[in-house]
Amino acid sequence: MTPELGQIALILALLLALAQSILPIIGAWRNNSAMMAVARPAAFGQGFFVVLAFVLLVWAFLRFDFSVQYVADNSNLALPWYYRITAVWGAHEGSMLLWIFILNVWTLALALFSRQLPEAFAARVLGVLGIISVGFIAFILFTSDPFGRLLPMPPDGGDLNPVLQDPGMTFHPPVIYMGYVGFSVAFAFSIAALLGGELEQAWVRWARPWTNIAWAFLTCGIVAGSWWAYAELGWGGWWFWDPVENASFMPWLVGTALIHAQAVTEKRGSLRAWTILLSIFAFSLSLLGTFLVRSGVLTSVHSFASDPRRGLFILCFLIFVVGGSLLLYALRAPKVAGGKPFAVVSRESAILVGNLMFTVAAAMVLLGTLFPLIGDALNLGKISVGPPYFGLLFPLLMLPIVLLLPFGPYLRWGKGEPQVLKRVMLRALLAAVACAVVAAFFVDGKLKAIAGVAAAVWVAVGVLLYIVKRWREMPRGRRYPAEMAGMLFAHAGVAIFLIGVLLSESLSATSDVRMAPGDTKQIGGYDFRFDGVHETQGPNWRADQGTVMVTRNGEPVAVMHPQKRTYTREQIQTESAIDPGVTRDLYVALGEPMDKEHIDGAWALRLYYKPFIRWLWFGGLMMMLGGFVSAGDRRFRVRRPANADAPEPVGAALLSETRA
């Protein structure tokens, strides 16, 4: 009975979403308060039913309801309860339900915290979110029903894909969806602003905290995904330029451009149309990303089976959202354009250059990711684009950003002073060169590692000098408002990230070796001794577990236990063993038994020494923290009368404060 309840809940949610999308937008157009007032109750109602449907699916998993096809496909009696909960989003149907669940979390948050917004504006924002919701719930109901029955009911189910049975996977999809879906809020604000025309200029300030939070979640999700790929896929890499990774990375790139462009628009009124365009792109790429991951149109290391009906629906929905919003943009953007002029040397210019690079990088990734589809359509053959394409172009595009990033804050809005900049840059340059020279002795002259140290020091010194400058020049309590503190955190995170990426990429040592028990192999100064393999057992798997003793100069460092697991349905999964450290990770993965008869017990082993790799995730988490801290700025929470259509430059009073 409960699965049918879930279906009914979704249908009711669809009806309420229709009400939430149509009535308030018409109401805002016709200035009809009664119709606009429908938005919040409809949003609450829709939220209730979507949450109910989601809970019912979780419930079906928890009580092994194998009469539900989706449950039977993705879980079994031996699967532990925590993986039965995560199995809810382990395949296509459930992840779509998770998507709509999270959209409703955002919508509810917005409905609760938008009371200070002008009535018509809030109605439009909620209306746009309602439209997105209609599209997704319809998609679930018509093509991807998670509550479909399976009769006769099987005694036991299939299995959750073993790669997904990992702690990282328990929170990676929800977090990354928080990011994807969060951009729908920025999108809704932009569309509402376009619909409202020139009346509303303050909307960017209202949109900023939401965009920052979404961006922070997406950052966190990408970091978690990268960590998962490193720990779980058994290849020791942290980024593969795989279509699925690119799918989450493109919205991140555009989102990063967006949060900076929003700052310009809010403080100076310039780049308004560009900000709107970016939020349309960010959300469109999020939609594209969601679908690329689950629809299986692209061959990827972790894509799943596809269904052409879904593809068609998705394509129509994408065309509707992207086409519709761009059409609206073309019609209305000229009305919202404006703002103050700025000189070539100014904070606006610096941000604009960064924006340009991020956007071009996103376009580059998009081209590389979709090229196989384009090639297919143009009869060019079955093509895939290799990682070196991204590996060559991406660093080139990011170089100007890394060079500019630490110095943006020194530049004033409107017109900056080149002399101040020169002084700071000179110091950063000296520090970077000095550190690079010192580092060169430690890294055997590897250029990439030296460049990494230099770039990281360049960024870090720039950020530190700015922190000192604020400390000296501003009175206590006004030194680091949350918005600025967030920016400093994120920029410092970039420095840490650079260290992690460039040092681990250039100094890693790896070896695939055949080892019999007792064999020793030295990598990166560590001795790995293989002590054989024995059988072990888990809740729903059995495994060959290896033992590897690691020593350094005779001192024991770690005992590592890599596994080769066989799950209930004979799926084989490598569980690597990782000995983490601040300056290095040791990583061991079991390959395969080299002699089937087990005479000498030799196995293929993959051994890694990965220096500083943890820094890149830590840097990513710093960026995430920056996003959250910025969003908490008191300025964004200031209540203002609902009918004041602030014609004066927004945040003018705070300009002097943010000026250094």
Partner 1 sequence: MNPTRKRRLIVVLLVVAAAAVAVGLGVFALQQNMNYLFTPSQVQTGEASSHKTFRLGGMVKAGSIQRSKSSLLVTFTVVDADGAMPVEYTGILPDLFRDNQSVIATGHMDNAHFVATEVLAKHDETYMPKELKDAMAKAHKGKPVPEGGDMGGSP
Q: In the set 77, 301, 447, 653, which binds partner 1 (CB under 8 A)? A: 301
Distance of CA 492 to the CA centre of its chain: 19
Query: What does the alpha-carbon distance between residue 562 and residue 532 come to, in Å, rounded to a whole number?
Result: 11
Contact positions with partner 1 (CB under 8 A) in 233-272? 234
> What is the pattern of x (binds partner 1, CB under 8 A) and - over residues 14-33?
--------------------
What phi and psi, each to the nearest 5 degrees, are found at residue 335? -75, -30
The distance of closest approach from Cβ of residue 585 to partner 1 in the complex, given in angstroms and rounded to an integer, is: 19
The distance of closest approach from Cβ of residue 173 to partner 1 in the complex, given in angstroms and rounded to an integer, is: 16
Distance of CA 101 to the CA centre of its chain: 18
Q: In the set 149, 302, 448, 635, which binds partner 1 (CB under 8 A)? A: 302
The distance of closest approach from Cβ of residue 507 to partner 1 in the complex, given in angstroms and rounded to an integer, is: 21
List CB contacts of 415: < 8 A, sequence separation 6 or more: 342, 343, 345, 346
Contact positions with partner 1 (CB under 8 A) in 108-167? 161, 163
- CA distances (Å), 98 to each of 222, 278, 632, in order? 17, 25, 26
Residue with Cβ nearer partner 1 (4 or 512): 512
Query: What does the alpha-carbon distance between residue 419 and residue 423 come to, in Å, rounded to a whole number?
Result: 6
- What is the three-state SS of 225-276? HHHHHHHHCCCCCCCCCCHHHHHHHHHHHHHHHHHHHHHHHHHHCCCHHHHH
Question: Taking CB under 8 A as the rule, does residue 372 contact partner 1?
Answer: yes
Q: In the set 305, 419, 475, 555, which binds partner 1 (CB under 8 A)? A: 305
Locate 421 and state its tokens. 């900049």
List CB contacts of 653: < 8 A, sequence separation 6 or more: none
The distance of closest approach from Cβ of residue 38 to partner 1 in the complex, given in angstroms and rounded to an integer, is: 35
Tell me which H or E stretch contains 151.
none
Q: Measuring CA to CA, which residue among 440, 462, 465 is closest to residue 451? A: 440
List CB contacts of 68: < 8 A, sequence separation 6 or more: 3, 60, 146, 147, 148, 149, 150
Question: Taking CB under 8 A as the rule, does residue 306 contact partner 1?
Answer: yes
Query: What does the alpha-carbon distance between residue 26 and residue 624 come to, in Å, rounded to a whole number?
Result: 38
Residue with Cβ nearer partner 1 (397 or 424): 397
Which among 371-379, 440-448, 466-474, 481-489 is the span making contact with partner 1, rule CB under 8 A? Answer: 371-379
Q: In the set 430, 433, 559, 572, which binds partner 1 (CB under 8 A)? A: 572
CB atoms within 10 A of CB 531: 14
The distance of closest approach from Cβ of residue 575 to partner 1 in the complex, given in angstroms and rounded to an integer, is: 10
Which among 214-222, 309-317, 470-478, 553-561 is the span making contact with partner 1, rule CB under 8 A? Answer: 309-317
Question: Taking CB under 8 A as the rule, does residue 480 contact partner 1?
Answer: no
Q: Measuring CA to CA, which residue among 248, 273, 249 is closest to residue 262? A: 273
> What is the pattern of x (binds partner 1, CB under 8 A) and - over residues 593-622?
-xx--------x-x----------------
Question: Taking CB under 8 A as the rule, does residue 522 contact partner 1?
Answer: no
Question: Taking CB under 8 A as the rule, does residue 571 contact partner 1?
Answer: yes
Q: Measuring CA to CA, which residue among 256, 285, 261 is closest to residue 275? A: 261
Question: Taking CB under 8 A as the rule, does residue 380 contact partner 1?
Answer: yes
Residue with Cβ nearer partner 1 (299 or 520): 299
Q: In the set 33, 116, 299, 520, which binds partner 1 (CB under 8 A)? A: 299
Which among 15-23, 133-141, 383-391, 423-431 is the span making contact with partner 1, rule CB under 8 A? Answer: 383-391
Residue with Cβ nearer partner 1 (73 or 505): 73
Residue 103 DSSP SS3: helix
Q: Count the residues of the shown chain that bind partner 1, applying the rule CB under 8 A.
A: 55
Bridge pairing between strands 563-567 and 541-552: antiparallel
The distance of closest approach from Cβ of residue 113 to partner 1 in the complex, given in angstroms and rounded to an integer, is: 37
The distance of closest approach from Cβ of residue 295 to partner 1 in the complex, given in angstroms and rounded to an integer, is: 9
- CA distances (Å), 274 to each of 211, 266, 330, 363, in order? 15, 12, 12, 16
Encoded amino acid at 432, one letter? A
Distance of CA 402 to the CA centre of its chain: 20
Q: In the set 155, 381, 554, 641, which binds partner 1 (CB under 8 A)? A: 381
Contact criterion met (CB below 8 Å) for 335 and 254:
no
**Rg (the chain; Cα; Å):** 27
What phi and psi, each to the nearest 5 degrees, are found at residue 495? -60, -45
**Cα atoms in the 13 Å half-sphere on the side-chain side of 454:** 16
Residue with Cβ nearer partner 1 (202 or 397): 397
Query: What does the alpha-carbon distance between residue 358 and residue 364 come to, in Å, rounded to a whole number?
Result: 10
Contact criterion met (CB below 8 Å) for 585 and 576:
no
Bridge pairing between strands 603-611 and 584-593: antiparallel
The distance of closest approach from Cβ of residue 595 to partner 1 in the complex, given in angstroms and rounded to an integer, is: 8
CB atoms within 10 A of CB 419: 8
- CA distances (Å), 124 to each of 215, 265, 277, 278, 288, in order? 22, 21, 18, 19, 24
The distance of closest approach from Cβ of residue 393 to partner 1 in the complex, given in angstroms and rounded to an integer, is: 5
Q: Which sign, positive or negative, has the C-alpha torsion 165, 166, 167, 171?
A: negative
Residue with Cβ nearer partner 1 (59 or 304): 304
> What is the pattern of x (binds partner 1, CB under 8 A) and - over residues 313-332?
-xx-----------------
Contact criterion met (CB below 8 Å) for 252 and 222:
yes
Residue with Cβ nearer partner 1 (1 or 392): 392
Residue with Cβ nearer partner 1 (372 or 546): 372
The distance of closest approach from Cβ of residue 73 to partner 1 in the complex, given in angstroms and rounded to an integer, is: 11
The distance of closest approach from Cβ of residue 392 to partner 1 in the complex, given in angstroms and rounded to an integer, is: 5
The distance of closest approach from Cβ of residue 104 to partner 1 in the complex, given in angstroms and rounded to an integer, is: 27
The distance of closest approach from Cβ of residue 589 to partner 1 in the complex, given in angstroms and rounded to an integer, is: 8
Contact positions with partner 1 (CB under 8 A) in 217-236? 234
Question: Taking CB under 8 A as the rule, does residue 4 contact partner 1?
Answer: no
The distance of closest approach from Cβ of residue 379 to partner 1 in the complex, given in angstroms and rounded to an integer, is: 4
Which among 385-393, 413-421, 473-481, 542-550 is the span making contact with partner 1, rule CB under 8 A? Answer: 385-393
- 457, 458, 462, 467 alpha-carbon torsion, rounded to 10°: -10
Question: Taking CB under 8 A as the rule, does residue 312 contact partner 1?
Answer: yes
Q: Measuring CA to CA, which residue among 107, 157, 113 is closest to residue 136? A: 107
Q: In the set 393, 421, 655, 660, which binds partner 1 (CB under 8 A)? A: 393
Q: Would you tell me which residues interact with partner 1 (CB under 8 A)?
A: 161, 163, 234, 296-297, 299, 301-302, 304-306, 308, 311-312, 314-315, 360, 364, 367-368, 371-373, 375-377, 379-389, 392-393, 396, 512-514, 564, 571-574, 589, 591-592, 594-595, 604, 606
